[in-house]
Structure 1
Amino acid sequence: MAKLADFQIKAIAKLTESMNDEKKEVVLKSPTGSGKTIIITHFMDEYGKGHFNNVFVWLTPGKGNLEEQSKAKMDAYIHNSSTKLLSDVMTYGFKENDACFINWEKLTKKGNTALKESERTNFLEHIERAHREGLEFTIIIDESHQNDTVRASDLIELFKPKKIIRTSATPKNYTNATLIEVSESDVIAEGLIKKMLIINENFGGNLEIESPVNFLLDKALDKLDELKSGFAERKAIINPLMVVQLPNNSDALLDEIERYLATKHITYENGLLAVWLSDKKQNLEEIEELNAKPTIVIIKQAIATGWDCPRAHILVKLRENTRETFEIQTIGRIRRMPEVKHYENDLLDSCYLYTFDERFTEGVKLHLGKGALDAAKLFLKNELRNITLITEHKTGVGAPRDASLSLKTMENYFKDEYELTKKTTHNKNKMEAKGYKFSENIIKQTFTGQVHTLTVEEFENLEKINLVEPLNTHRHGREYHNRVSTLGVQLSLPYEQMNTIIRRLFDKNVEYKNKLLNLETKEVYAFVINNFYRLKEDFRSAMSGVNIQVALDLKDITEREITIPKEFLFTFDGNNRVQREYESSVYKGYLSSAEIRSDSEKTFEKYCNDSKEVEWVYRNGDKGNDYLSIVYQDNFGKQKSFYPDYILSKNGEIWIVETKGGFSRSGSSEDIDRYSPKKFEVLKRYLTKHNLKGGFVRKDKSNNELFICTENYKDDIKDECWTILSEIL
């Protein structure tokens, strides 16, 4: 039996204790590299020794044959354990003290055979037989964040489990569950994972580079050589591994990397290079071994769940043109210590990330933010299950695109927003003063520094670096094309039309009488790439802010009757000292600590609950066919869906209410939705058509009152269109 770390022993003890508490669910939150499998298998063994009639069913995600890996680990850790795979269960059924490792997808995916009637006893009958024999199931859900689906929930219910244990490094939080959390610092202290993640080491303040790919690979290869020397000095038989992560849809980039590494004599043929892609796999045999030959492995956006390669020290994440979320789990793959101990050497006790992905910190914050809330599944009250509403859906076909209208709209917006004239030199100065970058080079930002723990605070303290790359029309032509295409998608314009608009507005070599800038063609490339996110924001404002109304023909809208969903996943702040149940909610168990909610929403929900005239209130969803949506169009004729925040009943009348950001104490608007005026008009149209009541509600922080607007919308709390809510609702 493997020697257990102190934190693992404590986690096993807490799991054992949790089996006797009143809560049905247990959440084991433990960082990648902490040995979740070791913890769970030893817990299963310990618990089985002193309890009769128990069966453990370990459910794993569908990728990577993780159920077989987990079974093999338990067989290695716990001698004479009674482990089974699904095929064994189908043959022999469930027996006392069994540990059954089953792949979710073999049971939940459409078309599976395990649950179909056949000549042999099917899976459901095996469960029912176990129940008749007095066996009780404990369900363990591995990597639980990947399998939170209705079909998976239905599968769990078949077992009628006495306990459900969910494990993950990044679990969704569950209400009314016992949380057992292994701290990252404890895992580091035991030497299981590396002390520090170092990002873009020694990049300096400003960089001038010819090739981003070659630059990153060179930096990482230099670090790889340092690590090899460090291990050689310690006489440790460890060959450190570099993981190169490609973005999706990057076949050309793969070829570029392979060619460049070949110049360094790192190839598939000599065994130093490995690849793990869905359609290409080479040199992966025993790659996890500490002295395996490959020094670099190429992967794509996500490494297979459960991949365990402790010799991986370096991650090179290559930048993509599309915005893909930076997965923090990927960092976990380079954090394990190869010999499960620290060397008290900063070089060897650290892992290294090299990337020009200027948005990776946003991905980290997004991921860490998801873990901040508790969650519970709530159910609709029986007496409200027959309430019906009419929802609108987009036809998928907007008004015909008029490129000349788009051009004129964007031209007018830029003139108004930046006070532009016919003098292009003046215009350049105006736009530059407000943040636009003008350069013949490609200028981007990345970050450098080090983080000890994966927290938002540490990532926010990283130092920014400007990257200056000479424009190469061949290499950057593809990026320019991608950026223009993305901007075009936003406006529902094909690439050719979007490119024409940009060239007419900004390129001196394309004729247009109302030109805003007078840039050379190469400068236009750099202008679009360097200012892509700024352009995107301005185009969004042009779509919503210009007073060009496109009439929406109601025959382009499809309508459907819906009811309030019978269940939904309710998120709330479990640490809030006030956990008052709102009786006015259509859902039983809806709490005052509901999150994520704006200040206006929180105040409105409390108002409804305190009101004697509001019979019920429903918080509408913000995406999907099951919720109330109203269709409207932007200034370029593109159809959009508006999901009002609340539907409620007052004295038997249905009201539809949209809450917006409030007004500050000084009276300034805190509404960040550019489309509010359009949404207000379309809500009025919907209410009139269906003979309902409603409006926009906002909070005035100068007096802490809610105000409602029902007729003419103005973004000014002093306007008479705003009335104190209590006088109307």
Structure 2
Amino acid sequence: QIVTNYLISNGVDEKKIAYWFDRRKENMDGISDNDNKVEFMLFKQAAGTGWDCPRASVLVMYREINSAQFHTQTLGRILRIADPKDKDTFKHSALLRTGFLFTNYKRNEVNVPDASSTNKPFVFSAENINGKDIVIDNNMKSDFISRLDYGDLGNAIAFQRSMRDSFDNFFGFTTEIMSPEEKHNKLKQRGVEINTHLINKIIVDAEFEDFDNINSDINTEGRDADFEVSNNDVEKTFTLLCQQLLKEQTEGDTRITNIARSWSPFKSSLRVWLLNSLEYESNTCYKIFINDILKGSNSAFRKVITKSLKDYHPILNHFMSKRKEEIMEREAEVFKIKRYYYYTDDFVLCPTKLCVLKDFYIEKEYTGKINEMEFIQFLEQKVDTLEWWFKNGDYGKDYFALKYFNTTKDKESLFYPDWIIKLKDNKIGIFDTKGGQTASSQETIEKAEALNKYIKQLNKIGGCEHEFIGGIVIKENEQWYYNDNSSYSYRQGKLDDWKLLVDLF
């Protein structure tokens, strides 16, 4: 509001101010259009990712930013080509290629984009042949991997219920109404002492004359005195123990990796159970709990905490699975070949006739380029049967991706097939070219079988607009072969399960 008031006081029309916050989005419609009337956009983190407004050229950054990646991503937003059709003017105009940053950070605290390929400004653009986004098929959706597992407890309410059930079962609490005395007796049977005092021993009246001998004198000088720990220190100790107890868990089905996100709901759940079970005020409950935990391996609460985390593990897995399904259903998008693609000066123009982009740019140097250029030459010869081909990218939501399980990393990963082609008989092909040892790697096996499964699923959909084909492609004996089998394998010179690609054309 302070910034808004400042802008208005300096003559800025409020209609020319846009807001992009979690709970407030105003005047954002059409903001990327070059003729849009909005001149200022206020944001926190939203513009760092998933936002594209090439006409933006000035950034005012007055806030603490902890991630260097956020710096470079956000600064990259003011280094775009405002009008892709005018790329030559952009390339030769220093003013158009310049972004302006105003900040109260010191020079050495600002991470300016470096000269690496991920941070270079775009200097080339390519428009597709239709002059608008191309939807290949409404059933052809591109996968993504959303961050689902934050290493925390997931659903706090579900955890609280699970902890309650685990604790009640461990201590023998029944569903019937039990008196406080009955509950205390059950706790005592498990070795929990109902000790409502938390004592801290300190040394008093000790005098040390020789500092060099303090290590030995400390055991004999003065006397021990017991002091009741203050309520404030009891609360602090309980909180620290909640964090420490989570850190101590090492087994796979009890280990919590994100302590920072987990200790608070863990503490809250534990507090609720203690209050309901002991029926004392909170600090007295904490004292009983702390005294038991200080027994180390003999602590009953240590045992039940580990048990409760194990009991919750399948519930957490189910919760994560449901969250994944909901996100996939909500966010999966039909893949589109964008109207424009942008490139840095690491790319060079390559003349083609059948590429879906009017100008095809390819990286100057990369592993596998020779193989891919030979494949382009093969496609370019199929004028009679091939409508167009598209060279897919390696990352990002602007390109087509499939999920597969990467056994090496033991997690889901994204696979970006190299090529999408459209034949004049209405078939859509999704292919990935390989060469040498990569064709027989475990990663290629996993990608090939994921692609085969995806194509089969598309072809089973009723009313699908196209027939889909595809697989892994290799070149042997100066001919291109493809493998579309459910179970993929490759050995050089052994191509019994492979088919000639030319037969598809």
**What TM-score do you get using the length of structure 1 for normalisation?**
0.30
Report 1 or 2 for greater relative contact order, CA contacts < 8 Å, sequence distance ≥ 6.
2
